[in-house]
Structure 1
Amino acid sequence: MTNVFLASSPVLFVLTGMLVLKKSAMKVAPIAMIYTALLGLMAFNTNTDIIYSSFQKGILDGIRIVWLIFAAFSMLIMMQSSGAMDKIKESIATITMDKRIHVIIIALMFGIFLEGVAGAGTPAAIAAPFLIGLGFNPITAATAALMSNSIPVSWGGAGVTTVMGSEPVREYMSVMEASAMTGRIHMIGAFLLPFLIVLVIFGRKGFKGLFPFLLFSGTFMAGTLFIFSNFVSAEITSMSTGLISILASLIFLKISPPHTPEEFLYNPEFSSKSSLHPLKAFSPYLILMVLLPIVRYSFSLSTLAKYGYTVWVGLVIFISALLGASILKVSYKEMSSYSKTAIKKVIPALIAMCGLLAVSNIMIGTGMMTLLASALSSIAGMFYPFIAVAIGSLGSFMTGTGLGSNIMFGPMHIEAAKTLGLNPVTIFASQNVGAALGNMICPNNVVAVATTVSILGKEGTLMRKVLPSFFTILIVYGLVALIYTHIVFV
């Protein structure tokens, strides 16, 4: 029991620092890193080589992720300075003046699409700054992005989380079986999430006049996700769900526009109409939407992952920004200035990200993470499907990826399922959906989105905003996993 408590102490250290003491991740992460390294050496008798390699991997992974943040931040500054964002505001205002719908379409649906074509934190890096450009409060934009970057993570960029994440347990299920069961759980979350986002960001009054759209968008997303995950392909589930849901929502708004209370009306802040053509204004995002899937499907996963999955995504974002800048007549000197500003902005994030990822890698290398998961599973019994969701969340909370969580804990879940006589497919799906949910509150993701919207230092505030929704969906998924395992798919 003592070892279990010690193994959990790095997690408690990070949570206490950010949530209770309200310290920034930049201050908490380096101290947590040193504490975890000493813990591994002294309490878990870990070889110094393992500690060093875990530390080194954490630093390198942190640099790769911050590269993506830098690219997204450079694009945002360019869009704002060139006047393109003002034109985008005007264009969006012609579709709907309802700010609540803007959040659902941009953060949730566009975010699901981006996760499907690239993954690796792209939704938060692009969707949150997009909302900032439209005039949303940074906390609001970041909260919406974090809540939205959950469900599609079970498939990730081109289905990699399910495709590669189920590889260690391929003897017990095919990719489509893993994807299908995952979709049967996530379709419930897809229905609930639009309601939860509106509740968290706008309060109960936010539902006024919006129920028809929320019912449509939730039902449509749930149905689309179910169809693609069960009958089409894991590789295009997220991408197709996001894109088709956007198009369907735009059609719905044309046929049945909502009655929007005055307090939720969108009031763009620009003094005069921009002469910029809408296509030019949207060009960086349009280029990005085209380049991401082209690059993703033009190379093998091993090639793209050679230097880190976030590296190629960040490169595509930066190239899109440069091409967009050329179309918008932004000079090289101006773009260089925007990039220098972006570098200064991401330095604190680099410190936080490297420290947090070092903590994660040390916990994995020393066996702390496996010990925690094993302790939870040993007391679960017939409630194991519920615990599997929680373990999946724990894995992605610390590693920052659903894929990492699946690879780490997937085999353990299969052994537990065999011992308890449970369906291995529903158990793995429970792990998979839990791994996606953990992205909502993962410190790495919180730091990343806080950096892109310039509120680094308020990570604790963000986590407190998102935690109620995280636990709500976690409980729902846990109950669904129990029903599926013991009643529906015995």
Structure 2
Amino acid sequence: MLNVALAVSPIVAVLIGVIGLKKSAMKVAPIVMIYTVILGWLFFNGSASGMLQSFHKGVGDGIRIVYLIFAAFSMLVMTIETGAMDKMKEVIADITDDRRIQVLIIAVMFGIFLEGVAGAGAPAAVAAPFLVGLGFNPISAATAALIANGIPGSWGGAGVTTIMGSQAVREYMSIMEASSMTGRIHMLGAFIMPFLVTLTIFGKKGMKNLGGFLVFAGSFMAATLFVFSNIIGPEVTSMCTGLLAIIATLVYLKIFKIKTPSEFLYKPEKTNKSNMPAHKAFAPYLILMILLPAVRYSFDLSVLARYGYTVWVGTVIFISAFLGALVLGVKIPEFAGHAKNAFKKVIPALVAMCGLLVLSDVMVSTGMMSLLAKTLSNAAGKGYPFVAVAIGALGSFMTGTGLGSNIMFATMHVEAATSLGLNPITVFAGQNVGGAIGNMICINNVVAVATTVGVLGKEGQLMKKVLPAFLLILVLYGLAALMYTHYLFPNFGVLV
């Protein structure tokens, strides 16, 4: 038990520092990183070469992630400075002046689309600052983006999380079977997501006169996600779910009029209308929506991932920002100035991100993460499917990706399932959905989105806002995994 307590202590230390003591991750991460290295060295047989390798890997990964944040922040700064964001506000207000629906379109639907075409933190990097540009409170914008990312993360960019994450257990399930069962769990989350985001951001009063739309949006996303994950394939599940949900919402708003309470009406700060053409104002984001899927489906995954998956996504975002700047008439020296301002803003995030990723890699390489997972699994018995969801969340909480969580724990889950006489497909699906919801509270993601919306140092406040939604979905998915495994789909995909 001592080793288990020691293994969990770095996670506890981060949570105490960020949430309990309300310290910035930039201050907490380096301290806990040093503590974790000492812990691994003294109690978990860590070697000098292994620690050095973890340091190099963590710093390298941190630089790559912050590069993506820098690219997204450059786009945001440029659109605000040129007045393009003012025009975008007007256009979105013409579609709907209901602030609640604006959040759902941008954070949830657009966020799911971005995860489907790029993954790698793109929803938080693009959707959250977009909301801030529209005048939303930065904490609310970041909270909405993090909660919404609890669904599409199981597929990631072009389905890579499910495709590559199930590779080690391919003899037990096909890619389609892994995607299908994952979708059958996530469709529950897709249905409640509009309600959950609305309640979290606006409270109970935010539900007023919005019930019909929330039922429509949740039902449409759940049905679309089910169809694509079970019939079409994991490569396009998130992208098509997000895009079709946006289109369906626009149609709904044309047909049905929602009586919006005055407190949720969008009130433009300026009375003068912008003369900028709408297509010109949206140019950076329109270019991004075209370039992301074009690049993703034009190259083999191994080519894009050669320098890290976040690198190609960040590069596409930066190129989109540059091309958008040209459309907006921004001169190259001016754009360079916007990029310079963005770079200064992300330096604190670089310190926090590198420290957290070194910490995470040390926990993985010294066996601390594996010990925690096995301890949970050994105590689970027939309740193992529920625990599989929790372990999946734990994996992505520390590694920052659902794919990393799947790679770490998929084999362990399948071995446990077969020894307990359970369906390995439903158990893996529990792991896969758990990996997605872990992204909601993953400290790396929290730091990243806090940076893009300008509230770095308030990570504890942000995690407190997201935590209730995370726990609710964790319990829902855990119960679904139990029901699917023992009662509804015990023989799904199993040769009997």
So what's the TM-score if we normalise by structure 1? 1.00
One-letter amino acid matched to 1:65: I
Matches within 5 A, 1:266-415: 266-415=266-415
Q: CA–CA distance in 2 between the matches of 1:237 and 1:253?
A: 24
Q: CA–CA distance in 1 between the matches of 2:16 and 2:418?
A: 37
Q: Where does residue 31 of structure 2 map in the other structure?
A: 31
Q: CA–CA distance in 2 between the matches of 1:348 and 1:115?
A: 25
Q: Where does residue 255 of structure 1 map in the other structure?
A: 255
One-letter amino acid matched to 1:193: M
Q: CA–CA distance in 1 between the matches of 2:476 and 2:107?
A: 22
Whether 2:133 is the aligned partner of 1:130: answer no
Q: Where does residue 203 of structure 1 map in the other structure?
A: 203
Q: CA–CA distance in 2 between the matches of 1:3 and 1:125?
A: 37
Residue 396 of structure 1 aligns to a residue whose secondary structure is helix
- Aligned CA RMSD, in angstroms, stands at 0.5
1:257 CA drift (Å): 2.0
Residue 13 of structure 2 aligns to a residue whose secondary structure is helix
Q: Where does residue 242 of structure 2 map in the other structure?
A: 242
One-letter amino acid matched to 1:140: S
Unaligned runs of 5+ in 2: 491-496
1:288-346 per-position Cα deviation (integer Å, ceiling 9, x unaligned): 00000010011111111110000000000000000000000011111111111011100
Q: Where does residue 449 of structure 2 map in the other structure?
A: 449
Whether 2:38 is the aligned partner of 1:41: answer no
Q: CA–CA distance in 1 between the matches of 2:266 and 2:407?
A: 44
Matches within 5 A, 1:58-77: 58-77=58-77
Matches within 5 A, 1:76-95: 76-95=76-95
Q: CA–CA distance in 2 between the matches of 1:87 and 1:138?
A: 20
Q: Where does residue 481 of structure 1 map in the other structure?
A: 481
1:188 CA drift (Å): 0.2
Matches within 5 A, 1:111-130: 111-130=111-130
Q: CA–CA distance in 2 between the matches of 1:292 and 1:333?
A: 26
Residue 298 of structure 1 aligns to a residue whose secondary structure is coil
Matches within 5 A, 1:169-188: 169-188=169-188
Whether 2:256 is the aligned partner of 1:224: answer no
Residue 316 of structure 1 aligns to a residue whose secondary structure is helix
1:101-127 per-position Cα deviation (integer Å, ceiling 9, x unaligned): 000000000000000000000000000
Q: Where does residue 104 of structure 1 map in the other structure?
A: 104
Q: CA–CA distance in 1 between the matches of 2:276 and 2:422?
A: 60
Q: CA–CA distance in 1 between the matches of 2:373 and 2:357?
A: 19
Q: Where does residue 144 of structure 1 map in the other structure?
A: 144
Q: CA–CA distance in 1 between the matches of 2:89 and 2:166?
A: 42
Whether 2:18 is the aligned partner of 1:18: answer yes
Q: Where does residue 434 of structure 2 map in the other structure?
A: 434
Q: CA–CA distance in 2 between the matches of 1:352 and 1:333?
A: 30
The number of residues matched between the two structures is 490
Q: CA–CA distance in 2 between the matches of 1:293 and 1:253?
A: 27
1:385 touches 1:427 (CA, 8 Å); kept in 2? yes
1:222 CA drift (Å): 0.2
One-letter amino acid matched to 2:51: I
Q: CA–CA distance in 1 between the matches of 2:285 and 2:464?
A: 31
1:371-396 per-position Cα deviation (integer Å, ceiling 9, x unaligned): 00000000000000000000000000
Deviates more, 1:385-394 or 1:266-275: 266-275
Q: CA–CA distance in 1 between the matches of 2:356 and 2:207?
A: 37
Identical aligned pairs, as a percentage?
Answer: 68
Q: CA–CA distance in 2 between the matches of 1:128 and 1:268?
A: 19
1:134 touches 1:268 (CA, 8 Å); kept in 2? no
So what's the TM-score if we normalise by structure 2? 0.98
Q: CA–CA distance in 2 between the matches of 1:194 and 1:334?
A: 39
1:150 touches 1:437 (CA, 8 Å); kept in 2? yes
Q: Where does residue 458 of structure 1 map in the other structure?
A: 458
Whether 2:165 is the aligned partner of 1:165: answer yes
1:206-253 per-position Cα deviation (integer Å, ceiling 9, x unaligned): 000000110000000000000000000100000000000000010001
1:26-79 per-position Cα deviation (integer Å, ceiling 9, x unaligned): 000000110000000011121111111011100000000000000000000000
1:271 CA drift (Å): 3.5
Q: CA–CA distance in 2 between the matches of 1:54 and 1:390?
A: 25
Q: Where does residue 494 of structure 2 map in the other structure?
A: none
